Structures are given as structure tokens and as C-alpha cells.
Amino acid sequence: MAPHRLSILSLAILLATLPSETAILQVAAHMQLTSPPPLRSTHNPHTGPLPDYSMTTPLSSDGSNFPCKGYLSLLGTPQGASVATWPAGSTQHMTISGGAVHGGGSCQASLSVDAGQTWHVLHSYIGACPAINGDSSFSFRVPGDVPETKGAVFSWTWFNNLGNREMYQNCAVVDITGGRSGDDFGQRPAMFVADVGNGCTTVDSRDVLFPDPGPDLDVNDGGKAVPAKGDGCQRGMGGMAGGGGRGGDSGSGGGSSDDGDSNGNDGMGDGMSGDGSGNGGGSSSGTSSGGYNSGGGRHPSPTNTWVPSAGTWTPGDDWPNGYGSVAATSRGGGLVAVGAFASILLGLLI
């Protein structure tokens, strides 16, 4: 066989061994917390021989692996060792990475000091979380009233704007130092839970407006965020397993006005044991929307104005009809080019 034909044959074999379309798609799959590194993450130095290569997948729709994808069983083992030490009162950062932001959405940074039995919000981000372009870094303050805890659990939760109604959660183990005793931290609002079979569902193509975001808040929704729907949205942790303990106060400011006054709605919260209730009344200065100051914030407002077409999408395909990530679009064009080139090479061989 002529030398040039050998070269063409070698190139054809190389093309045949390129990653499949599925493998290329996996590179751009969803989002995940990378810092602090979560339990079973490939970014976590304590992860054992069986890391979770699907860290970007959402929680099960029936809530069976809530909280933390079921990985809190690693607490107290070498794989559940702390990955960071945070002094109470300090400012920390979390990094969200991935290739499919689903139009952004709303996120919360929360903390549990009782091995995942109760969760309290550190910071809420309504809109533009994750950021539309590239990795996202978000700052938050560790309250000075967090009790000193070895093996506290930090949680990042995300409710995507576009696609299937899903809840994403990654959890990392951290040590809290220098905190105060008492139950002041326990008075913070409970972490918001939805889209996991608890009777609370977020609205497609809209950022979720948390019913009780807590005192530390970034709003970048352009005034378009809406509350989730369902009776379970009014029950604090939604009655989910792992969210028990004391009930959380969940009053929220409602309505809007131009003169700076905003009346709150009564809120109710209950955990697995104990009930709590609170009033969300209050006032704000400047223009408000939904009880939150919607001006300013560290992150730019979302720029994706795509509106989904009518139709449905199948489970496991989180992109609605007519919509795909940049990676998916470029992938299709690349595969067509590779296929055409391979056809030319085969013609030369024949």
C-alpha cells in the first residue's frame, strides 16, 4: 500500500476514536460547587476511590437523596473530613463551575451545625446565580453568632431558571471557629426547599423569589422573580426528611411601592418536630419589589431573553425544545464537519 494511503488510513482510525457525542455533552453538563470542595467531589482531597462523577446532576425529584445527595453518611469518616476552617464573622467565597447555567436562577448559601438536621440561610442570591458566562464566585458572611462547630456542613442550593424544575445541592464539610454559644444562629430562616416532591414547585423561565431570604441578600432578577407554587412552599423545610428540629420563621415582605413602604405577609415554619411562626412585616427605603430592594447587587442582571417554545422535553434532557447550550450548538457543527471529512478520506481509500 502506498505511503500516503497508510497516512490516510491512520487518520481515519484516529477520527474513529474521537469522543462520542455523549462524552462531549458531558463536559458541558450543568453546574457544581467546586470551592469549598463538596463531599465525594473530584475536587475534594479527602474523596475516596469512588468519587461522584455526576456531581452536576440535580437531586432526585422524589427527594430520596435530600439533603446533599445522600452523602452526609460520610460525616465522621476520613472522606467526610473538613476542607476549610471559617472563623465566625469572616467573609468567605464559594465558586460555581460548569457549562450549562440554564439561564441562571436563584441560589442560597446555607449552613448546618447539627449534621444536616436543620439548615439556616447565610446568604440568598435572587437572579444571576450562577452567572450567565463563566465560573461564578459569590461572597457571603459567616455570622458571628454561629456556634463553634467541628464538622459543620455548608450547602449550595440552586434553582435553575430554564429547563426541568429541579433542585441542585452540593455540600462541603467545614470547621467553624470562634463562634458564640446560644441559639441566635438558629433564629435565621430555614433553607428553601422545592422541586423534590415536597409540594413546592418553582416556575419555569423565572428566577425564584425566596419566601424568606434572610438579612444577607443579593437581588439581580430585574424585578421579574416570582414565588414558587404549592402548599409545601409555606412549611419552612417543606417537611423533608433531614430538615427536622426546630421550626424556622419564614415571614417575607410582600407587595411593592414607590414611597419605600412595603408590608409583609405572615409566614409559617415547621420542622420535623416543633413549630415556629413569624410575621414578615417591615419597611424598606427606596423602590422595592416583592419586599426586597431590587436595585444594585454585585452581579450583572441576566441578559438571556429567550422564551421557551410550546412543548415538552423528556426526563434527563434539561434543555427545553428549541434551546441548547453554546457547547451543544458548537458540538453539532463540529460533528457534521468531522463526518464530512471522514467521508472524503474513505473515498480516497476506495
Whole-angstrom distance, CA of residue 324 vs CA of residue 322 = 7
How far apart (Å, rounded) are the C-alpha atoms in residues 149 and 82? 11
Q: Flag whether pLDDT at 305 surpasses 80.
A: no
CB-facing half-sphere around the CA of 128: CA atoms within 13 A: 20
Domain boundaries, the chain: 1-28+325-350, 31-318
Cα(296)–Cα(177) distance, integer angstroms:
32
What CATH architecture applies to the domain 31-318? Distorted Sandwich (2.70)
* Predicted pLDDT of residue 235: 56
The amino acid at 233: C
Determine if residue 56 is left, alpha or beta; phi over 0 gives left, psi from -120 to 50 gives alpha, anything else beta: alpha
Q: Where are the beta strands (DSSP E) in 21-119?
A: 31-35, 84-87, 91-98, 105-112
Digit-coded pLDDT (tens) for 217-229: 999 988 899 999 9
**Cis omega (within 30 of 0) for bond into 67:** yes
* Residue 265 backbone phi and psi in degrees, to 5: -105, 150
How far is it between the farthest Cα atoms of the chain? 85
With pLDDT > 70 as the criterion, what percentage of the chain qualifies? 57
Tens-digit pLDDT profile for residues 253-304: 333 333 333 333 333 333 333 333 343 333 333 333 333 333 333 333 332 2
Query: Terminal CA-to-CA distance of the chain, rounded, Å?
Result: 12
Work out the percent of the chain whose per-residue pLDDT is above 90: 50
Each residue of 131-183: pLDDT tens digit?
877 668 999 999 999 999 999 999 999 999 998 999 999 999 999 999 887 77
Model confidence pTM above 0.75: no
Residue 121, CA distances (Å) to 112, 143, 156, 349 in order: 9, 10, 10, 64
Interatomic CA distance for residues 126 and 209, integer angstroms = 6
